[in-house]
């Protein structure tokens, strides 16, 4: 990636980790009362977003190969 695309992508993992925290808050926080299915869905979504964020974070830290 070059230019502003790269700058945008470096901010994606923190936003995704915030999404995970928000999903868990919706599932278990005091503001909402989801059903069991809603809790399972929110936790599954949080797990997938966490996995993608972690993969993105690891990929950003890898040394770049010269083209």
Length of the chain: 67
The pLDDT assigned to 39 comes to: 94
Distances (CA, A) of 19 to 28, 46, 60, 62, 64: 14, 7, 19, 24, 28
Q: pTM above the 0.75 mark?
A: no
The pLDDT assigned to 3 comes to: 45
User: pLDDT of 41-58, one tens digit each?
Assistant: 999 999 999 999 888 888
Interacting residues of 14 by C-beta distance below 8 A, sequence separation 6+? none
Backbone Cα Rg of the chain:
16
The pLDDT assigned to 57 comes to: 83
């Amino acid at each position: 990636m070059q230019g502003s695309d790269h700058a945008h992508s470096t901010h994606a993992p923190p936003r995704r980790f915030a999404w995970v925290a928000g999903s868990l808050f919706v599932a278990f926080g005091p503001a909402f009362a989801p059903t069991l299915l809603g809790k399972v869905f929110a936790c599954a979504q949080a797990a997938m977003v966490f996995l993608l964020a972690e993969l993105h974070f690891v990929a950003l830290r890898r040394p770049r190969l010269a083209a």
